[in-house]
């Protein structure tokens, strides 16, 4: 009888085992397979600074509504795979800033390019950090004074150093932890390319246009079971506010709300492909609602989506972590002589006049503009999560397409505004449609020699696939 029972038990176990996967997620893996470190720095400027984002501003910042921060999350799979993800409450990541942090991080911490990801929230309520004279003069619509340039230069020098130190602090803070992924949704981002008469597109809410409302979340838990970090994303401009006050906009508020809800956790915002997405309503669209109320409302909505994701089934994220970093070389469509000559006169600023003269001279000598090297980065967390980070103000078509094309066992997370924010990265559709993100922004202020050629999307997507091929080997 006893042996029959033992046999029955053995049979039950054996039959059950046949239907179990070879490895149970989380069952055989160590409880804390990662080494994780977080660090945060206040990067709020002292005093008044010229601000980035809206060319309509005529005065520097006049107060601080919310402190802005740089944060770093170091993830180490303890088998040689690691990355430091740096998020910034800033308008963008100038290529020179990335180059500096990359160089210093290589020297001081041995980080390789694919082990560093810099992402900006694109808040339009932060200091101007591009020290390019042209950019300054265009933003100010007049020559910047030596004092203005000195203040901006000091801020950027301090920022460069702070970011390298921040990377080091996050690596230093590494301790055992585990990672989990989940996703929810938030609905306040809306497409902002509204079709108008004669096939043109204006910068206004377009409820029928494509959006990406996913809110991906990476939950980082320490060995004590406490949440150490929440990395979350959303594809939308941080343009709820329009005044001259320093603020992280909705992403800043979402981070603050989350840190209040999960004491001890650092919340980091990773901007998605929101190049053609705005938060609505925004600024002074609603007569009886103040922008400072709207920005908290959007921040709350996003923080609530993160909390909802944390209450959905969480997927354990295992290693190995493998990354690759490269550049898609993007060519420009040259502007005609007539088009360029139109920029030689007022109302265009002297900075734009000079740029047009330069391009005309190049054209006369038969010289083509050099292509733009657009950074593309991929991070593969075993077979659980693939994170793609693309430079520029990436329009939503890229994340929608990549999530479709890369669909498989791993979840897919696509970030824009990473490692260099050079301007808009249009898709083929947006380029064909034209308008602001389709090349109009490039041409209007001539910060690029023209719109990108029509193969731009294939080149960027092709680079993503190429890099993923490298990390799959
Ligand atoms: Zn933008």
Ligand 1 center to residue 282 CA distance, Å? Answer: 14
Residue 3 resides in a domain: no
Ligand 1 center to residue 275 CA distance, Å? Answer: 6
Whether the per-residue pLDDT at 228 is higher than 90: the answer is yes
Residue 72 resides in a domain: yes
Nearest alpha-carbon partner for 395 in 457, 349, 455: 457
Q: Given this model, what pLDDT does residue 3 score?
A: 46
Residue 395 resides in a domain: yes
Q: Are residues 175 and 214 in the same domain?
A: yes
Q: Given this model, what pLDDT does residue 135 score?
A: 65
> What is the number of other CB atoms lying within 10 angstroms of the CB of residue 363?
17
pLDDT digits (tens, 9 = 90+) for 79-134: 999 999 999 999 999 999 999 999 999 999 999 999 999 999 999 999 988 656 56
Q: Are residues 398 and 347 in the same domain?
A: no
d(CA 415, CA 406): 14
Ligand 1 center to residue 333 CA distance, Å? Answer: 21
Do 394 and 359 form a contact (C-beta atoms < 8 A)?
no
For residues 34 and 348, the model is more confident at: 34
Ligand 1 center to residue 319 CA distance, Å? Answer: 34
Ligand 1 center to residue 314 CA distance, Å? Answer: 32
Ligand 1 center to residue 233 CA distance, Å? Answer: 16
Ligand 1 center to residue 457 CA distance, Å? Answer: 18
Whether the per-residue pLDDT at 145 is higher than 50: the answer is yes
Ligand 1 center to residue 263 CA distance, Å? Answer: 32
What's the token pair of residue 44? 């709020």
Q: Are residues 348 and 417 in the same domain?
A: no
Whether the per-residue pLDDT at 351 is higher than 80: the answer is no
3-state SS, residue 200: coil
Ligand 1 center to residue 393 CA distance, Å? Answer: 6
Residue 305 resides in a domain: yes
Q: Are residues 403 and 339 in the same domain?
A: no
Q: Given this model, what pLDDT does residue 151 score?
A: 85
Q: Given this model, what pLDDT does residue 142 score?
A: 56
d(CA 284, CA 241): 9
Q: Are residues 281 and 225 in the same domain?
A: yes
Q: Are residues 350 and 411 in the same domain?
A: no
In angstroms, the Cα distances linking 149 to 94, 152, 163, 218 are: 16, 5, 21, 39
Average pLDDT over all residues of the chain: 90
Do 217 and 182 form a contact (C-beta atoms < 8 A)?
yes
Q: Kindly report which listed range (53-57, 73-77, 159-163) carries the lowest average pLDDT score.
A: 53-57
Ligand 1 center to residue 394 CA distance, Å? Answer: 9
Residue 391 resides in a domain: yes
Residue 1 resides in a domain: no
Residue 28 resides in a domain: no
Q: Are residues 396 and 307 in the same domain?
A: yes
Ligand 1 center to residue 174 CA distance, Å? Answer: 34
Ligand 1 center to residue 78 CA distance, Å? Answer: 38
* Domain limits for position 105: 34-328+372-472
Ligand 1 center to residue 122 CA distance, Å? Answer: 7
Q: Are residues 193 and 123 in the same domain?
A: yes
Q: Are residues 356 and 449 in the same domain?
A: no
Neighbours of ion ligand 1 (CB under 5 A): 393
Do 420 and 93 form a contact (C-beta atoms < 8 A)?
yes
What phi and psi, each to the nearest 5 degrees, are found at residue 126?
A: -130, 165
d(CA 291, CA 152): 27
Q: Are residues 225 and 352 in the same domain?
A: no
pLDDT digits (tens, 9 = 90+) for 396-445: 999 999 999 999 999 999 999 999 999 999 999 999 999 889 887 777 67
84 sits in which H/E element: strand 82-88
Ligand 1 center to residue 237 CA distance, Å? Answer: 6
Spatial neighbors of 442 by CB under 8 A, at least 6 apart, are 423, 424, 448, 449, 450, 451, 452
Ligand 1 center to residue 169 CA distance, Å? Answer: 30
Give the chain's domain count: 2
Q: Are residues 297 and 340 in the same domain?
A: no
Q: Can you spell out the DSSP letters for 209-225?
A: S----EEEEEEEEETTS
Ligand 1 center to residue 277 CA distance, Å? Answer: 9
Residue 426 resides in a domain: yes
Q: Are residues 169 and 73 in the same domain?
A: yes
Whether the per-residue pLDDT at 244 is higher than 50: the answer is yes
Ligand 1 center to residue 92 CA distance, Å? Answer: 9
pLDDT digits (tens, 9 = 90+) for 281-331: 999 899 999 999 999 999 999 999 999 999 999 999 999 999 999 999 999
Q: Where are the beta strands (DSSP E) in 205-334?
A: 214-222, 227-234, 245-246, 266-271, 277-279, 315-317, 321-330
pTM: 0.92
Ligand 1 center to residue 241 CA distance, Å? Answer: 13
In the chain, the percentage of residues whose pLDDT exceeds 90 is: 73
Q: Given this model, what pLDDT does residue 53 score?
A: 83
Ligand 1 center to residue 51 CA distance, Å? Answer: 14
For residues 445 and 392, the model is more confident at: 392
Report the pLDDT averaged over residues 193-217.
Answer: 95
Q: Given this model, what pLDDT does residue 132 score?
A: 60
Ligand 1 center to residue 301 CA distance, Å? Answer: 21
Ligand 1 center to residue 138 CA distance, Å? Answer: 16
Residues in the chain: 473
């Amino acid at each position: 009888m006893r042996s029959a029972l033992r046999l029955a038990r053995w049979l039950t176990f054996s039959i059950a085992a046949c239907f179990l996967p070879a490895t149970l997620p989380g069952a055989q893996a160590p409880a804390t397979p990662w080494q994780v470190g977080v660090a945060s720095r206040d990067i709020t400027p002292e005093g008044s600074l010229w601000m980035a984002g809206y060319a309509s501003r005529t005065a520097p910042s006049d107060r601080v509504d919310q402190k802005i921060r740089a944060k770093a999350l170091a993830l180490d799979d303890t088998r040689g795979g690691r990355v430091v993800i740096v998020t910034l409450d800033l308008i963008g990541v100038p290529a020179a800033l990335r180059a500096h942090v990359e160089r210093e991080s290589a020297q001081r911490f041995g980080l390789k390019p694919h082990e560093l990801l810099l992402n900006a929230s694109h808040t339009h309520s932060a200091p101007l950090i591009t020290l390019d004279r042209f950019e300054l003069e265009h933003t100010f619509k007049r020559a910047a004074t030596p004092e203005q340039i000195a203040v901006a230069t000091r801020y950027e020098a301090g920022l460069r150093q702070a970011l390298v130190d921040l990377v080091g602090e996050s690596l230093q803070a590494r301790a055992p932890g585990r990672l989990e992924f989940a996703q929810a949704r938030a609905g306040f981002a809306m497409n902002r390319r509204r079709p108008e008469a004669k096939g043109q597109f204006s910068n206004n809410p377009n409820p029928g246009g494509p959006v990406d409302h996913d809110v991906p979340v990476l939950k980082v838990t320490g060995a004590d079971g406490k949440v150490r970090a929440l990395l979350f994303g959303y594809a939308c401009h941080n343009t709820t506010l329009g005044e001259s006050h320093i603020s992280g906009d909705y992403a800043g508020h979402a981070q603050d709300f989350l840190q209040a809800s999960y004491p001890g956790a650092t919340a980091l915002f990773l901007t998605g492909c929101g190049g053609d997405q705005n938060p609505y309503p925004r600024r002074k669209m609603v007569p009886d609602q103040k922008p400072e109320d709207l920005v908290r409302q959007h921040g709350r909505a996003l923080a609530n989506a993160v909390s909802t994701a944390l209450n959905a089934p969480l997927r354990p994220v295992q290693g190995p972590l493998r990354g690759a970093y490269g550049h898609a070389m993007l060519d420009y469509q040259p502007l005609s002589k007539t088009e360029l000559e139109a920029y030689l006169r007022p109302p265009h600023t002297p900075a734009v006049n000079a740029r047009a003269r330069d391009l005309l001279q190049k054209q006369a000598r038969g010289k083509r503009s050099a292509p733009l090297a657009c950074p593309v980065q991929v991070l593969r967390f075993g077979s659980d999560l693939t994170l793609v980070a693309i430079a520029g103000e990436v329009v939503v078509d890229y994340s929608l397409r990549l999530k479709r094309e890369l669909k498989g066992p791993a979840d897919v997370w696509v970030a824009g505004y990473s490692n260099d924010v050079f301007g808009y990265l249009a898709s083929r559709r947006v380029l064909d449609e034209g308008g602001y993100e389709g090349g109009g922004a490039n041409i209007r202020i001539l910060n690029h020699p023209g719109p990108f050629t029509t193969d731009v999307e294939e080149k960027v997507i092709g680079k993503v696939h190429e890099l993923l091929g490298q990390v799959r080997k």
